[in-house]
Amino acid sequence: MDFEQKTLENGITKTGAHKDSLHSTAPCRQFLPTLDPKQLSQAYQYCSKVSSKHAKTFYFATHFLPAHKRFPVYAVYALCRYVDDLVDRSDETRQSLTKEKIFALLNQWRADLESCYNGLIVDHPIMMAWYDMLQRYSIPKSLPMELIDGVCMDLQTNRYQTFDDLYVYCYKVASVVGLMTSEIFGYSSTDALDYAAKLGIAMQLTNILRDVGEDARRGRIYLPLEDLEHFKYTEQDLFNNILDERFIALMQFQIERARHYYADANMGIPLLSKDSRLAVRISSVNYSRILDSIEKNKYDVFSRRAYVSFSRKILSLPYLWLSTVLS
């Protein structure tokens, strides 16, 4: 048995009826059916592997959560990743996976979530992990449903005229993730939820800026068209990967906007339970550093992918730990 599996099984055993000590998280529900511990461990391991493969910055930060919170967070991410991948596949393999088929699959996930919330076990590792998680953390059903609604927007929309339009998308696919994980982290005031939503906006804007070139190759533009117009940069310029002073000014404007959301969101970290603050701060800081990387790459998001090196993440830990303890 590897270390992670042992940690997971210990966490499940010790915290099967865990409630966060902070009063703001709603009471947990207890369902009658139970999962076999080995099967449950395998379900959470599946979610962990999805997280480690597709979200390195996020996965790094989760190691600073206690096990009883870490693995449910993996379950949240695995659901997000799975439904998002369905839409990506619709872009890449339209001949074999049509929009209609994607909508049908997403509707099945809605039905499976309904089953989980109704106390029924669904035979899929992500759903099994969710089933267990919902016995210990009260995540409103509206949130994962809203996430799926946000993912569906990618099947219907590939342009956003204004930032207000884009904000709705970012909220649905990212802020609701922050709201779900906040119920796992625990918080002392519901004000923490507003900050969690802002962190979701900041991170999704970062994703958008990092992936400008990749999205353009798929015919998608997430940058608000009103901003392109303001900087006199056209859609065709974007598709042609034109990197000039207009594009740099456009990117600088977007980066400043994202950093504003990070700054606001970070004020909510002291409202989280003590054993969750460091992980959230690490995630926020390291994700925001992708913006630094874009700048270091001279705003070339067409031929270079911005990222934060593992060594830089490690070297920042003492400062982040100290700043979290003193906050």
Query: What does the pLDDT read at residue 35?
Result: 81
Mean local confidence (pLDDT), 12-35: 45
DSSP SS3 for 187: strand
Give me the domain span that covers residue 112. Answer: 35-139
Please give the pLDDT value at position 25: 38
Given a cut of 70, whether residue 13 has pLDDT beyond it is no
- Which pLDDT value is given to residue 27? 38
pLDDT at 3: 41
What is residue 9's predicted lDDT score, i.e. its pLDDT?
53
Same domain, 175 and 132: no
Q: What is the pLDDT of residues 150-169, one digit of tens each?
A: 999 999 999 999 999 999 99
134 pLDDT above the threshold of 70: yes
pLDDT, residue 322, reads 78
pLDDT band at 249 (very low <50, low <70, confident <90, very high): very high
Lowest-confidence pick of 61-75, 84-98, 211-225, 238-252:
84-98
Res 14 pLDDT > 50:
no
| pLDDT cut 70: percent of the chain above it | 87
The whole-angstrom separation of Cα 123 and Cα 261 is 39
The region of weakest confidence among 203-212, 271-280, 305-314 is 305-314
Binned at pLDDT 50, 70 and 90, residue 29 comes out as very low
Question: How far is residue 248's CA from residue 239's CA, in Å, rounded to a whole number?
Answer: 15
Q: Which of 23, 18, 19 is nearest to 271 (CA)?
A: 23
- 35 vs 60, higher pLDDT: 60
Give pLDDT, residue 318. 86
In this structure, is residue 21 part of a structural domain? no
Q: Which residue has the higher pLDDT, 2 or 277?
A: 277
18 lies in some domain: no
Residues 161 and 109 in one domain: no
Is residue 43 within 8 A of residue 126, CB to CB? The reply is yes
Same domain (yes/no): 121, 162: no
Domain shared by 165 and 262, yes or no: yes
What is d(CA 200, CA 10) in angstroms, rounded to the nearest whole number?
Answer: 31
Q: In DSSP terms, which residues pair with 187 in a beta bridge?
A: 272
Confidence at residue 17, expressed as pLDDT on a 0 to 100 scale: 35
Instruction: List alpha helices for 245-327, DSSP H.
Output: 245-266, 274-296, 310-315, 317-326
Domain shared by 258 and 179, yes or no: yes
Q: What would the pLDDT profile of 283-293 be if each residue is shown by its tens digit? A: 999 999 999 99
Quick one: pLDDT at residue 241?
97
Cα(46)–Cα(155) distance, integer angstroms: 27
Residue 67 lies in a domain: yes
Question: Quick one: tokens of 237?
Answer: 């310029």
> Can you give the pLDDT at residue 28?
43
* pLDDT tens by residue, 57-108: 889 999 999 999 999 999 999 999 999 888 876 555 545 678 888 899 999 9
The domain spanning residue 275 has which CATH number?
Answer: 1.10.600.10
Note whether 184 and 299 are same-domain residues.
yes
The count of structural domains within the chain is: 2
The yes-or-no verdict on residue 26 having pLDDT over 50 is no
pLDDT at position 92 = 55
Share of the chain above pLDDT 90, in %: 74
| 317 lies in the same domain as 279 | yes
Contact 199, 178 (CB under 8 A): yes
Q: Please tell me whether residues 245 and 100 are part of one structural domain.
A: no
